[in-house]
Amino acid sequence: MGAVTSNAISIGELSRLSGVSPHTLRFYEAEGVLKPAGRAANGHRRYRREDVLWLEFVLRFKVTGMPLAEIRQYAVLRAQGEKTLQPRLTMLKLHRERLVTKINELSTCAGVLDDKIRTYRKMIAKSRVPAKKAAK
Amino acid sequence: MGAVTSNAISIGELSRLSGVSPHTLRFYEAEGVLKPAGRAANGHRRYRREDVLWLEFVLRFKVTGMPLAEIRQYAVLRAQGEKTLQPRLTMLKLHRERLVTKINELSTCAGVLDDKIRTYRKMIAKSRVPAKKAAK
DNA sequence: TTAAGAGTTGGAGCTCACTCGATGTCAAGA
DNA sequence: TCTTGACATCGAGTGAGCTCCAACTCTTAA
């Protein structure tokens, strides 16, 4: 049975798994968003289950528009252990607020967009009817 | 009473009104997002009511994450008049779809975030209780 | 033995959306 | 007359977030 290897995966596998290119994964590591990955004997990066979970968390942050710098800040706190629970909670709450605001903003825009679409449909319908009448 | 002036505003006024810097307004014009503004006798840009409304529309597109290139594309169609109603409607519908998808995605993330916040609160509460007991 | 394929590094380059700086014109007010 | 302030143009610079390239090392399979 494999000794140290256990269930660690390569950068290529993580890339396929996460949809993030190997380039970008290394870039994230350089930026301090991902902690320096463990290495195999040949120097290749080895990602473990917890690394995959953290990446998923990071991607959720990203999707919600958090800038990398802020994600890194959170990552740094996390690396410092339990004593930073409070500041991390503060960051999460703040981000939650922004997220709710953003969702509301987008919903408003979606409403306006719907109105616009309805108007367009009507305009297109009207511009077609006279043509039919004329043809009659 | 003022003749041609009517209710046209300067770039500075539009900037204050919209929260977009004069630099950026000129940049938008150069990019074809805003149509070339009318000019006063001295060469200064004069924006009219319809220009302000169009800018508002553009900003709503922007807020919802539409890239400038796409907004310009819409602007170009609009400038071509009634005959482009159909392609514009198509663009609006497509964008609506993306917007709805985005809103759902964000809502999911908000849910996950809420869970995380709850977990953090519990962890913080637990890390406090033993300290109190020890002090007793 | 050679070639392919997956990884490594460092650094340059790219896109997007601004943002700024230099330089100039013009009109109004002290 | 001189200064201030708002505007103009043009081109360069910025920052975020990748994305690609060159050159190299290993391992494995033909």
Question: Three-state SS across B21-90?
Answer: CHHHHHHHHHCCCCCCCEECCCCCEEECHHHHHHHHHHHHHHHCCCCHHHHHHHHHHHHCCHHHHHHHHH
Query: B132 pLDDT exceeds 60?
Result: no
Per-residue confidence at B128, pLDDT binned at 50, 70, 90? Answer: confident
Close Cβ partners of B73 (under 8 Å, ≥ 6 residues apart): B91
Q: Give the pLDDT of residue A131.
A: 56
Q: Note the pLDDT tens digit of each residue in B62-119.
A: 999 999 999 999 999 999 999 999 999 999 999 999 999 999 999 999 999 999 999 9
Q: Give the pLDDT of residue A6.
A: 60
Q: Note the pLDDT tens digit of each residue in B35-60.
A: 999 999 999 999 999 999 999 999 99
More confident position, A22 or A5: A22
C-alpha pair distances (Å), B62 with each of A1, A6, B24, B52, B130: 55, 47, 13, 15, 51
Of A88, A93, A103, the CB nearest to B103: A103
Do A127 and B95 make contact, defined as CB atoms within 8 angstroms?
A: no
Q: Note the pLDDT tens digit of each residue in A74-123.
A: 999 999 999 999 999 999 999 999 999 999 999 999 999 999 999 999 99
Q: Give the pLDDT of residue B89.
A: 97
Q: Work out the burial of residue A109: count CB atoms within 10 Å of its CB; fewer than 13 is exposed, 13-18 middle, 19 or more buried.
A: buried
Positions of strand D less than 7 angstroms from a protein CB: 6-9, 16-21, 26-27
**B22/B16 Cα distance (integer angstroms):** 9
**A23/A25 Cα distance (integer angstroms):** 5
Eight-state DSSP code of residue B4? S
More confident position, A133 or B108: B108
Q: Please tell me whether any atom of strand D lies within 7 Å of the Cβ of A2.
A: no
A15 and A21 Cβ atoms separated by less than 8 Å: yes
| A contacts of B104 (beta carbons < 8 Å) | none
- Architecture of domain B1-79 in CATH? Orthogonal Bundle (1.10)
Name the 3-class secondary structure at B106.
helix
**B6/A109 Cα distance (integer angstroms):** 31
Q: Give the pLDDT of residue A129.
A: 75
Q: Please tell me whether any atom of strand C lies within 7 Å of the Cβ of A26.
A: yes
More confident position, A5 or A17: A17
Q: Give the pLDDT of residue B7.
A: 83
A32 and A76 Cβ atoms separated by less than 8 Å: yes
Q: Give the pLDDT of residue A73.
A: 97
Per-residue confidence at B129, pLDDT binned at 50, 70, 90? Answer: confident
Residue nearest to nucleotide D19 (CA to C1'): A23
Q: How far apart are the first and last CA of chain A?
A: 83
Q: Give the pLDDT of residue A1.
A: 38
Query: B3 pLDDT exceeds 90?
Result: no
Place of tokens 């339990």: A82
Do B114 and A96 make contact, defined as CB atoms within 8 angstroms?
A: yes
**A39/B72 Cα distance (integer angstroms):** 48
